[in-house]
Amino acid sequence: TWVFKSAYSMMRVFLFLFLDTGQRQMYPPASELPAESPFWYMDRILRMVMMAAGAIIADAVQRVWDLIDWFANWLWARVQGGFAAVTDALQDGLQWAWDNVISKIPEGIVAGAAEIGKLIREAFEWFVNSAFEPFVNIVEAKLAIPGKLLRAEYGSLEELIDDMLDPPQEMLKGWTGMILLPFIIVGLLVNMVTGLSGPLLEPVLQEQARSVGARIPPFAMLRDGLLRGLVQEEVHDDWLGRSGFNQANIDLQTALYQEIPGPSDLVRMGVREVFTPEIAERFGQFEDFPPAFGEWMAKQGFTEEWANFWGAH
Q: What CA–CA distances, in Å, run from 179 to 5, 175, 292, 310? A: 13, 6, 75, 78
Q: Is the pLDDT of residue 230 over 80?
A: yes
pLDDT tens digits along 60-76: 777 777 777 777 776 66
pLDDT (average), residues 166-176: 52
Q: Any residues with CB less than 8 A from the CB of 93 and at least 6 apart, and which?
A: 71, 75
Q: Is the pLDDT of residue 145 over 70?
A: yes
d(CA 215, CA 209): 8
Which amino acid is residue 56, in one-letter code?
A: I
Report the SS3 class of residue 186: helix
Report the SS3 class of residue 54: helix
pTM value? 0.33
Mean pLDDT (the chain) is 69
pLDDT tens digits along 178-194: 555 555 555 555 555 55
Q: Is the pLDDT of residue 240 over 70?
A: yes
Query: Helix %, strand %, coil % for the chain, to 5?
Result: 75, 0, 25
Q: What CA–CA distances, in Å, run from 107 to 36, 198, 285? A: 39, 66, 122
Which amino acid is residue 177, in one-letter code?
A: G
- Whether 8 contacts 41, CB under 8 Å: yes
